[in-house]
Amino acid sequence: MKRYLITGTSRGIGRAIAQRLATPDITLLLHGRDTVALAETCKAVKPRCFNVVSLIHDLAKASGVSDLIASVGNDPLDLLVNNAGIAVVKPFGEITMVEWEQTLGVNITAPFMLIQRFAPQMPPGSSIVNILSVAAKTGYAGWSAYCMSKFALEGFSQSVREELRDHRIRMINIYPSATNTDIWNHLGGDWPRDKMIPAHEVASAVAYALAQPPDVLIENITLGNLSGRL
């Protein structure tokens, strides 16, 4: 029985990935912070997979990540998807230390701790997927903290990818452009949602990369809307 851990599955891209990967031979370990929304995700995938485990932890703090690790247990993972993320959108001079540290915690420290803990026990043929962003390669005004975190995870994952090759563990990075999820409801501004890609297309890209033979690595997938960037 395979075990998949996916972070940030309460809604949006994480929920879409969980729905896409649910199969009868999989135990899904689904992380989130919103108890009600995570329960809805678990309910949606439960009929299609062997087992679903709900994991509610705050990844903004290292202690929360440690609690998540403890909840996952010692059995090896076959897939780790680092999807959880937060976005602080404001001029750099207005970013508070709390916002900065939360961004570092969720977007960088959590993936680092999870990869460091679980990768050594993952069997050959396993995969680690990082949901990055086009903001991992390009800076955008007002998005400095978010871009910083994605640039950092980009560099970290590229380096670890090379370390894991001999262990036959694939490191796959996904770079979506703006994706139509609930995150935009909490950001100020008038965002053109019709130009955003749907979450299920990001999930499809993840499934495609994972469906390749074990010795084939799709290192990077960039997704965007044909109409152009926002």
Position 227 scores a pLDDT of 66
Instruction: Please state, in angstroms and as integers, the Cα–Cα distance from residue 76 to each residue in 1, 33, 114, following that order.
Output: 11, 23, 12
- Would you say residue 228 lies in a domain? no
Chain length of the chain: 230
- The number of folded domains in the chain is 1
- Tell me, yes or no, whether 146 lies in a domain: yes
Sign of CA dihedral 91, 92, 97, 102: positive
pLDDT for position 229: 65
Distance CA 221, CA 138 (A): 15
Mean pLDDT, the chain cut into blocks of 10 residues (230 residues total): 96 96 97 96 95 97 97 97 94 97 98 98 97 92 94 97 97 88 69 79 96 95 76
Specify if 230 maps to a domain: no
pLDDT at 183: 73
Decide if 229 is inside a domain: no
Rounded Cα distance between 148 and 152, Å, is: 6
Give the CATH number of the domain where residue 166 resides.
3.40.50.720
Q: Which domain holds residue 91?
A: 2-223
Q: Can you tell me the distance from the alpha carbon of 169 to that of 165, in angstroms, rounded to the nearest whole number? A: 6
Q: Which of 111, 131, 128, 130 is nearest to 197 (CA)?
A: 131
